[in-house]
Structure 1
């Protein structure tokens, strides 16, 4: 098999901790180019992975023989750079949220269709082993219908792990567009859509900045979500869970409760109504401090090798984006908002 030649655009924390090492781990994959406006960062990663370094992504896209790129940039740059990459003939794995508007996300999808290049969004929650197992359990029908749920994703904030630290692009609205709700809330939005197997149609939300200083984006969001078949639940995203990261989800069903990533030992627990408890340990869950293989890069490479449309497609990314945009509108207007 011919090696798949990869470029990574953006050499910040997500590229260093996830994309680059996961590409390097894959057989038949060659990291040939990296780009970052910070020349030192680009050269550091290029030296580490035996790649060429660029400070302009447009020059990287002209690199001969490049098959695909990861777009690991601030949110406001996802759409223009992804579209440019597809128009240059490259498959694209783009970090989440995929764009900052429905129009931008739609343009990315259109570019994929026009160029015939694959577009995948980095929603790794649905690939986590506990969540894969949970989907299997829910689809089996053993728990009956899901009635309600609660899901949360919170940590101490991106300054604790991003390469830029306090004051970095995560905290600048012109680059990030949205704070904790876009960083973490969109992950859980995508997960809930995946687990329920249906769309979120209405959102009520409080989105605000409760503690972070010198920023114009949110650090906390609490949402009420309603699905197309009437399932209701809550979603919380936070950059102020400082003592301990929370990545848990609980689904309350007709025949029992499904608990995900609540327990340190057993990350999938079923509590049946009859008192029976079933415990599963489904591998280790990635945290900001302890990264594990996310499955995103492996899945992207599989789709390139087999020329198949990604399950976490641009269309899926757009559906999750629409929910967080509705949450922002709800917070701004003080009303329940119907998802477009």
Structure 2
């Protein structure tokens, strides 16, 4: 196969710690160009990965002949830059949440179809070993009917992760659009859809700002979700878990309870109704902390879908469905009513 030429637009933390590292580790990929509005950041990454540096994504798309682009920008820029890249003839891997509205998400999907290019959304939770194993156990019928679930994704906030710290775009509504729900909640909405194998139809959301001063985006949210078949459970997303990150999911089934990323030593613990307990050591979930899994498998899946000309595992349609759960939670919180997922 010929080498896939890629560009990374946005040189913040997600690009530095995930996209660029994983592209660089992939034998079939060449990082051709990088772009960041802050010239020093772009230059630093360009030097590190022996690529060309830009401060304007329009210039990059006009001047470079690249096969694929990673969009690692503030949420409000995901749709316009992804659409521009697709229209320039590039496959696109876009960070989550894919857009700030259903309309934007639809426009991204349409741009991909019109240009016959791949659009993948970087929901990495589907590729975590414990989650893959849990889905197989559910699909096989071993767990039986799913009665309920609860999932949480929380940490102390993006200031410890973002290159801009407390000044990060994560805290600015015009750039972020949404806070912890967009940063963390959408990951879990996507994971639950993947694990349960069905869509959510109703959401009751409590979405608040309680932990971070001086921000107008949410930092604490709890949602009750209902699936097509009537299974109900909870999703929590928070930037207020100050002492320790929580990235756990528990599935309550007819024959067993699955505890995912809930035990410090075993990434999946299956507690069967008959008293049997099976513990799986499947490697730690990816984390910003030391010791977390470093390869998210997002890049390799994206590249593989281009090489094999297959639908990416998290297509634009999939990303849109997960986004719609979060949008419904926001609408529910504002209206104080249970909201249908569109």
Task: Name the SS for the 2:250 alignment partner.
Answer: strand
Partner of 2:311 in structure 1? 309
Deviations along 1:112-132, one digit per CA (max 9) or x if unpaired, are 000001000000101111100
* Equivalent in the alignment of 2:127: 127
Q: Deviations over 1:239-267 (max 9, x none)?
A: 01011000000000001200000111111
CA contact (8 A) 2:31 2:49 kept: yes
Name the counterpart of 1:267: 267
Distance in 1 of aligned mates of 2:335 and 2:17: 38
Partner of 1:249: 249
The question of whether the paired residues in 2 share the 8 Å contact of 1:143 and 1:255 is answered with: yes
Contact 2:6 2:32 in 1 (8 A): yes
CA contact (8 A) 1:97 1:317 kept: yes
Contact 1:167 1:214 survives alignment (8 Å): no
Distance 1:209 1:136 in 2: 37
**Structure 1 position 285, deviation (Å):** 1.2
Compute the displacement of 1:167 (Å).
2.4
Q: Distance in 2 between matches of 1:12 and 1:318?
A: 24
SS in 2 for 1:61: helix
CA distance in 2, matches of 1:73, 1:315: 20
Say whether the 8 Å CA contact 2:86–2:117 is kept in structure 1: yes
Q: 1:80-109 CA deviation, whole Å, 9 max, x = no partner?
A: 000000000000000000000000000000
1:338 aligns with 340
* Structure 2 unaligned spans of 5+: none
Superposition CA RMSD, Å: 0.7
- What per-residue deviation string (whole Å, max 9, x for no partner) do you get for residues 48-80 of structure 1? 000000000011112333100000000000000
Give the match's secondary structure for 1:286.
coil
Describe how 1:65-214 pairs up with structure 2 within 5 A: 65-214=65-214
Contact 2:301 2:313 in 1 (8 A): no
**1:158, 1:165 within 8 Å by CA — same for their partners in 2?**
yes
Q: Distance in 2 between matches of 1:309 and 1:58?
A: 27
Q: Which residue does 1:40 correspond to in 2?
A: 40
Q: Secondary structure at the match of 2:62?
A: coil
Q: Which of 320, 323, 328 is 2:325 aligned to?
A: 323
How far, CA to CA, are the matches of 1:329 and 1:218 in structure 2? Answer: 13
